[in-house]
Structure 1
């Protein structure tokens, strides 16, 4: 009989999903009519879902999804956090594509907004990192 060795650990997988350039994004500093907002949300959600399917992203049980805001050329100062509405719609698209079972706190463990580099037309990128062994729920004291 041999002693069992340490469990083999694998590294989390990381996927970068680029949404189409010039896709109309939601910006918290630019309020729009509810109907215009609904159209933009649907377009972002649909684009993210199809991009995930096209990239053949695998189903993940848990993940961290960071979003990178790539502004149009010439923009020198901006606040990436103003695009949370766009990121939420894109994450819903990942759920539609079955990359994540849900976007609740047990499956989506963290999100972060990050500034990117200028891209013609502007673009939102999603960095999806598989979470393998992080505990679920609030930290224990």
Structure 2
């Protein structure tokens, strides 16, 4: 279903993504983090829907459609390194911290942090050019707001 999208996303010299494609790629990354511990909980899925609705000003039906597409894309997407590097090219630097905050929201949605989730957020942060310190501050902001 997403073969052409993934081909464009992972080409040797990818073009910047249009906003809908960037949304889909970031959404799939949220799903990847949620699935990284081997358990995609209802709390995590609900948090992804909340994040998508607020981040992209979507109604419930639109957020659900984007989440379903993101789940499918995530299952077809290449390894996390190539996938995240492609997202880095699609997302302006100034908004990458909000991507990390969204990832932490998903990780913390089920009430705990798993080593696999922590590891993946750390990897993704580095690939997006966000330092460990910036990621930790993002996690603290998310924790404080919950």
Query: How does the TM-score come out when normalised to structure 2?
Result: 0.31
Per residue, is there more helix in 1 or in 2? Answer: 2
Using CA pairs below 8 Å that are at least 6 residues apart, which structure has the higher relative contact order? 1
Report which of the two structures shows the higher radius of gyration computed on alpha carbons.
Answer: 1
Query: How does the TM-score come out when normalised to structure 1?
Result: 0.32
